[in-house]
Amino acid sequence: MSDCCDWERVKCNATTRRVTQLSLDILPQNKYNDFIDGSPLLNMSLLLPFEELQSLDLSFNLFEGVYKGKAYDSFGSLKQLKMLNLGYNLFNDIILPYLNTLTSLTTLILVGNNIDGSRTKQGIANLTNLEALDIRGNRINGSVTRLGLAKFKNLKALDLSYTDINGSLENQGICELKNLIELNLEGNAIEGPLPQCLKNLTRLKVFGISSNQLSGSPHSVIASLTSLQYLDLSDNYFQGIFYLSSLGNHSNLEFFMLSLVNNTLEVETENWLPTSQLKVLHLRNCNLNGTLGFLQKQHGLKSLDLSHNKLVGNFPAWLLQYNTKLEVLRLTNNSFTGSLQLSNSKLDFLHHLDISSNSFSGRLPQNMSTILQKLVYLDMSKNKFEGSISSSISEMKDLRILDLSRNQFSGELFAPLLTGCFSLLLLDLSHNSFSGQVSPKFMNLTQLGWLSLDNNNFSGRISNGFLSSARSLEVLDISNNKLVGQIPSWIGNLSSLLLLSVSKNL
């Protein structure tokens, strides 16, 4: 008989050869459960021999309950169990009474189990050694007090995101957890200002509280949490002023998100030069004005979103030059002006660029394809760009989304644009001044799903075979041009086509 310590999903103590870790997630045919009326039940008695078990992963098995034969005794026999992952099953609150015997647990994962919180406080009351508790994606539907968290003094990581908790955080027990390093409360209905008692959580490195209903200004609380590395305050209803200078002592901060659903909070960048090297900075819809001078010393950015603000100045080519690993840049809906000036250094990581809804003007730079060769998403719509788009874009072979609509581009479509960018899923050239034939004779956009050429000056007949290879095309808009002739018969072969607009032509 083979040694079970050599099996997949099993780890053993090197000395005693007793099993210490079982990874039984996504079990084939649910081998470790019994079925009653077609419902899979977890049979814990099968784990009785594993007295030295320290880690048990039973996630993603759709268990709906526990086989009651010797369930309490079976759980209680796992006296050395430190990590239990029951995530993404269907236990609901039925599982909670069985957990109280697992007093050695330091990590408990109950994510996505339809737990409603009615037995949570009693069910985990004895697990005072817990250091990590993950209940995200359940239905607690009430205040945090239902969980009785105050007694878990050893907690270092707590995830209550998307659990329908509501009300204020004041006097809810979270402020008592002074050893917390990670706290995730995203996607709930938490109201009111951030309580001042959160200043007690001086060890906090990760704090996510986005997508709630918080009000007031968060800056006085955040200013005290100087150990933060990750901070997401996005999509709340803050008011007043948030001084980014309050982050002056946050020398470890790498991820900062404060994008808002409204614009009643004014974010002040004056006197703020980050003391840390940020990787992600999202300040969407934050009433920012002025220039980007506060980013002059940043050289490690990977994602920057400053869209929907009042920023001015030229395109920040220096920002791309300093942050060579930048992957995402969003500057949409600001007041940037001037031409699109790029440095001479290739940006091998930038895959998403959105500079739409500004006042950029002039011709596209000739080195655009070389510098931005890895772009997947490019939105330059609603600007004042002009001239031909010929060779500027035609060599971007990874490009999937290209939106150049509502500019002042002119001239004929350059054939390589429609043959060289063969990965395109969406191409929008509408509301410009393009002219000439609507297409070259040959096209290789086999993945194209959306094509908008409307509101231009295209003329003549649609070429035979144009788009005949675009079998995935769902939207084709060539309205408001000067096209003549009949609608080509090959359009009837586009089986995925949902919308065809050819109105207002000749």
How far apart (Å, rounded) are the C-alpha atoms in residues 385 and 231? 37
Within a 10 A sphere around the Cβ of 68, how many other Cβ atoms?
12
How far apart (Å, rounded) are the C-alpha atoms in residues 24 and 89? 13
- Three-class secondary structure assignment of 148-209: CHHHCCCCCEEECCCCCEEECCCCCCHHHCCCCCEEECCCCEEEECCCHHHHHCCCCCEEEC
For 254, half-sphere exposure in the C-beta direction (CA atoms, 13 angstrom radius) is 7
How far apart (Å, rounded) are the C-alpha atoms in residues 474 and 433? 24
In the structure encoding, which two tokens stand for residue 480, read together? 């408001």
Instruction: Determine the pLDDT at residue 23.
Output: 94
Q: Where in the chain is the domain with CATH 3.80.10.10?
A: 1-139, 141-287
| H/E segment holding residue 119 | none
Q: Which amino acid is at 164?
A: D
In the structure encoding, which two tokens stand for residue 215, read together? 């009000």
β-pairing, 408-411 with 433-436? parallel
Instruction: Determine the pLDDT at residue 418.
Output: 72
The dotted CATH code for 1-139 is 3.80.10.10
CB 246 within 8 A of CB 269: no
How far apart (Å, rounded) are the C-alpha atoms in residues 325 and 472? 33
Q: Which CATH architecture has domain 141-287?
A: Alpha-Beta Horseshoe (3.80)
Q: Can you list the residues of the chain whose pLDDT is less than 50? A: 32, 35-36
β-pairing, 107-109 with 157-159? unpaired
Residue 230: C-alpha distances to residues 23, 68, 159, 204, 349 (Å)? 30, 43, 14, 9, 22
pLDDT in tens, 151-184: 899 999 999 999 999 999 988 889 999 999 999 9
Instruction: Determine the pLDDT at residue 36.
Output: 46
